[in-house]
Amino acid sequence: MRACFVRCLRSGLALAALLLAVYPTTAEDTVLIPAQCLTAVANPLTHKVYCASNGIVVIDGVTNTVIKTIEVGDVTNTGIGNMAINPARERLYGIDNKLPANVVVVDTATDSLLTTIPTVGGAGPGIAVNSVSNRIYVGYMLTRELAVIDGNTNTVIQTVDLGNKRPNEVAVNSTTNHIYVSFATFDGTYDVPPYGLLVLDGTSLSVIKTLPMVSAANRISVNETTRQVYLSVTEPDSFNGHVIQLDGYTNTVVVDVPLPDALNSIAVNSYNDHIYLPAVNSDVNSGRVYILDALTLTIVDVKPIGTAVYDVTFDPVTSLVYAVALDDVEAIAVQQLSRSLAAGSSGNTIAVFQDSLPRPVGPKRNVYDTHTPTLTWGPITWAAGYRLEVDNNNSFSSPEFVYDDAHNPTAFALTDYLNNGRYFWRVQAKRANGQPGAWSAVDSFSIAAP
Q: What's the CATH code of the domain at 289?
A: 2.130.10.10
In the chain, the percentage of residues whose pLDDT exceeds 70 is: 80
* 87: pLDDT strictly greater than 80: yes
Q: Is residue 361 part of a domain?
A: no
Same domain, 249 and 325: yes
| Residue 189 lies inside a defined structural domain of this protein | yes
The average confidence (pLDDT) of the chain is: 79
Give the domain extent around 137. Answer: 5-354
Q: Are residues 346 and 380 in the same domain?
A: no
Average pLDDT, stretch 5-21?
A: 28
Q: Give the per-residue pLDDT at 250.
A: 87
- Total domains in the chain come to 2
Residue 439 located in a structural domain: yes
Cβ neighbours for 376, distance < 8 A, ≥ 6 positions apart:
410, 411
CA distance 54 to 96: 9
Q: Strands 83-86, 65-70: parallel, antiparallel or unpaired by DSSP?
A: unpaired
Alpha-carbon dihedral sign for residues 76, 82, 84, 85: positive
Task: Write down the pLDDT at residue 171.
Answer: 96
Q: Can you give the pLDDT at residue 28?
A: 39
Q: What is the CATH number of the domain that holds 373?
A: 2.60.40.10
Q: Are residues 159 and 216 in the same domain?
A: yes
Quick one: pLDDT at residue 285? Answer: 52
CB-based contacts of 370, cutoff 8 Å, min separation 6: 363, 447, 449
Q: Do 78 and 196 share a domain, yes or no? A: yes
CA dihedral 73, 76, 78, 79 (to 10 degrees): 70
Confidence of residue 385 (pLDDT cuts 50, 70, 90): confident
- Residues 441 and 380 reside in one and the same domain: yes
Confidence of residue 448 (pLDDT cuts 50, 70, 90): confident
**Final residue in a domain of this structure, among 354, 387, 402:** 354
Residue 136 maps to a domain: yes
Lowest mean pLDDT among 9-23, 124-138, 375-389: 9-23
pLDDT of residue 7: 27
Residue 65, domain member (yes or no): yes
Query: Residues 288, 307: contact at Cβ < 8 Å?
Result: no
Same domain, 395 and 313: no
End position of a domain, from candidates 354, 387, 406: 354
> Are 15 and 125 members of one domain?
yes
Of the residues 317, 333, 354, the one at which a domain ends: 354
Most confident of 72-76, 169-173, 369-373, 445-449: 169-173
Task: Choose the weakest-confidence range: 108-122, 130-144, 193-207, 274-288.
Answer: 274-288
Question: Is the same domain home to 113 and 233?
Answer: yes
Distances (CA, A) of 91 to 83, 156, 345, 377, 447: 11, 16, 28, 34, 18
The confidence band for 406, taking pLDDT boundaries of 50, 70 and 90, is low
> Does 335 reside within a domain?
yes
Look at residue 50 in the predicted model and tell me its pLDDT: 94
Amino acid at 233: V
* 296 and 426 inside one domain: no
Find the helix or strand (DSSP H, E) in which 183 lies: strand 178-186
Residues 380 and 318 in one domain: no
326 with 389, same domain: the answer is no
Q: Is the pLDDT of residue 49 over 70?
A: yes
Report yes or no on 360 lying in a domain.
no
Look at 414 and 307; give whichever has higher pLDDT.
414
What whole-number distance in Å separates Cα of residue 418 and Cα of residue 409? 23
What is the pLDDT averaged over residues 370-398? 83
* Pairing of β 421-430 and β 385-391: antiparallel
Contacts of 412 (CB under 8 A, 6+ apart): 374, 375, 386, 388, 403, 406
Residue 134 within a domain:
yes
SS3 172: strand
Residue 288 vs residue 135, higher pLDDT: 135
Could you give the strand order of the β-sheet that contains 228-234, starting from the edge strand earlier in sequence?
A: 219-223, 228-234, 241-247, 252-259
**Does 352 have pLDDT greater than 80?**
yes
In 54-140, DSSP assigns E strands to 55-60, 65-70, 83-86, 91-95, 102-107, 112-118, 123-130, 135-140
Cβ neighbourhood burial of 421 (10 Å; 0-12, 13-18, 19+): middle
One domain for residues 336 and 382: no
Could you give the CA distance from residue 24 to residue 185 in angstroms, rounded to a whole number? 40
366 pLDDT higher than 50: yes
Please report, as a single letter, which amino acid is at residue 75: V
